[in-house]
Amino acid sequence: MSTVAPSQSANIGRPSDYRPELVAVICARLADGESLRSICRSDDMPDKATVFRWLMQFPDFCDQYTRAKEESAEAHA
């Protein structure tokens, strides 16, 4: 039997709800050269599988992600 109250269980685990603010942070960190693997290790970030699912589900996020990766590549060049 769990000792966690139902209201508390919603705060446990990684975020999985798509939010524009969250994807903006992901893309900013990507553009700064951080890897997606590193970003997703943070407790306040979704896991990589979730990010890849969002890329398939949300065209706007896919566009932002692509631009962020391009910016990162240019910064490394």
Q: Where are the alpha helices (DSSP H) in the chain?
A: 6-9, 20-31, 36-41, 48-57, 59-76
What is the domain extent for residue 56?
Answer: 16-76
- Residue 72 included in any domain: yes
- Residue 8 included in any domain: no
pLDDT of 76: 72
For the chain (length 77 residues), average pLDDT per consecutive 10?
47 73 97 96 95 96 97 82
- Residue 23 included in any domain: yes
pLDDT of 26: 98
Q: Which residues touch 77 (CB under 8 Å, ≥6 apart)? A: none
pLDDT of 12: 56
- Residue 59 included in any domain: yes
CB 30 within 8 A of CB 69: yes
Question: The domain that contains 66 carries what CATH number?
Answer: 1.10.10.60
- Residue 40 included in any domain: yes
pLDDT of 4: 46
State the total domains in the chain. Answer: 1
- Residue 2 included in any domain: no
- Residue 6 included in any domain: no
- Residue 65 included in any domain: yes
The HSE-up count of residue 26 (CA atoms within 13 Å, CB side) is 29
pTM of the predicted protein model = 0.77
- The C-alpha atoms of residue 34 and residue 63 are separated, in whole angstroms, by 18
